[in-house]
Chain A
Amino acid sequence: MKKHQDQGGLKPEYASILDGFYRGLAPSGLSPDYRAETEVYRRRSRLASAGRLYESLMSASGVAAGPRVGYFCNLVPEELIRACGAVPVRLCELDHACARLGEEVLPGDACPMIKSICGSAAAGRYRDLDLLVIPAACDGKAKLSELLAPVRPVYLLDLPRSSEYLRNADAWTGRYQDFFDFLKERFRSRAGRSELTAECRRANLRTQLFRRLYHFRAGHPGLINHFDYFTLVSLSFRLEPEAWLDLAGEILAEAVGRAEGLKFDGRRILLAGSPIIFPAYKVLDILYEFNCEAVADSLCSGYGHLYDPVEIDEETETGIIRALALKYLAASLCPCFMGLNKLLDLLVDTTAEYRLDGVIYHDLRLCQVFDMQTVAIRQVLKEKRIPFLSIKTDLGREDTGQLKTRIEAFLEMLG
Chain B
Amino acid sequence: MKPRRRITLSRRIIQLACLILLVYGGYLFKGRLAGQEANVGEPPGTGGSLFPDLKAPKGAMSTTQFAPGSILWPSGATPVLENYPPTLVCRFNPKGGLFKACIVHFFSENFTWQTHLKYLLPHLTLFVLLCFLLGRFWCGWVCPIGSLGDLLSWLRRRMNVPVRRFPAGFRNALVFSSYGLLGATLGISTFIGLPNYSRFQCYWFLPYCQICPARLVCPVFGLIKPGWKDFTNGVSATFTLLAWLVLGLFVAAFYWGRRVWCHLCPVGLVNSWFNRGAGLELHKKAVKCNKCGYCADACPMGLTAMYEADTDRKYNQNGCIMCLRCLEVCPKDGCLSCRFFGRRVLESRY
Contacts and interface: CB of A to CB of B under 8 A. Distances in A.
- Judge: A and B partners, yes or no: yes
A341 B331 CA distance: 18
Contacts of A315: 157
A109 B157 CA distance: 51
B331 A308 contact: yes
Interface stretch (B89-97, B192-200, B288-296): B288-296
A39 interface: no
A260 interface: no
Interface of A: 163, 165-166, 169-170, 192-193, 201, 204, 208, 211, 308-309, 311, 313-319, 322-323, 326-327, 330-331, 339, 341-342, 345-346, 348-349
A323 B288 contact: no
B350 A211 contact: yes
Nearest to A208: B350
A193 B160 contact: yes
Interface residues of B, number: 27
Contact of B163 (A163, A319, A323, A348): A319
B18 to A, nearest CB: 23
Given A166-B307, A204-B1, A316-B157, A311 B288 contact: no
B8 to A, nearest CB: 10
Contacts of A211: 350
Contact of A165 (B161, B307, B350): B307
A254 to B, nearest CB: 24
Given A331-B291, A349-B287, A309 B331 contact: yes
Q: Which 9 A-B pairs have the closest CB atoms?
A: A165-B293, A318-B162, A331-B292, A313-B298, A330-B293, A349-B287, A311-B329, A331-B290, A330-B292
28 contacts: A165-B291, A165-B292, A165-B296, A166-B293, A169-B293, A169-B297, A170-B165, A201-B1, A208-B350, A211-B350, A309-B331, A313-B294, A313-B325, A314-B157, A314-B162, A314-B163, A316-B162, A317-B162, A319-B157, A319-B162, A322-B297, A342-B290, A345-B286, A345-B288, A345-B290, A346-B290, A349-B287, A349-B288
Contacts of A349: 287-288
A166 B304 contact: yes
* Most A-side CB within 10 Å, residue of B294, B307, B308: B294
A317 B4 CA distance: 20
A326 B297 contact: yes
Given A165-B307, A166-B296, A319-B163, 7 more contacts: A163-B291, A166-B307, A166-B308, A204-B1, A308-B292, A315-B157, A345-B289
Contacts, number: 80
Contact of A313 (B160, B161, B329): B329
Interface of B: 1, 4, 157, 160-163, 165, 286-294, 296-298, 304, 307-308, 325, 329, 331, 350
* Most B-side CB within 10 Å, residue of A192, A201, A330: A330
A313 B297 contact: yes
Given A311-B331, A313-B329, A314-B163, A323 B286 contact: no
Contacts of A201: 1
A211 B290 CA distance: 15
B287 A348 contact: yes
A163 B161 CA distance: 26
Nearest to A200: B1
A342 B307 CA distance: 12
Given A309-B331, A313-B329, A314-B162, A323 B297 contact: yes
Nearest to B335: A349
A193 B159 CA distance: 11
Contacts of A342: 289-291
B160 to A, nearest CB: 5
A327 B292 contact: yes
A266 B298 CA distance: 43
A317 B304 contact: no
B288 A326 contact: no
Contacts of A339: 291
A341 B298 contact: no
Contacts of B162: 314, 316-319
Contacts of A317: 160, 162
B325 to A, nearest CB: 8
Given A165-B292, A309-B350, A345 B297 contact: no
A211 B333 CA distance: 11
A326 B292 contact: yes
A128 B297 CA distance: 39
Contact of A308 (B286, B289, B290, B298): B290
Contacts of A192: 160
Contacts of A318: 162
A330 B304 CA distance: 14
Given A319-B157, A349-B287, A311 B294 contact: yes
Contacts of A323: 294, 297
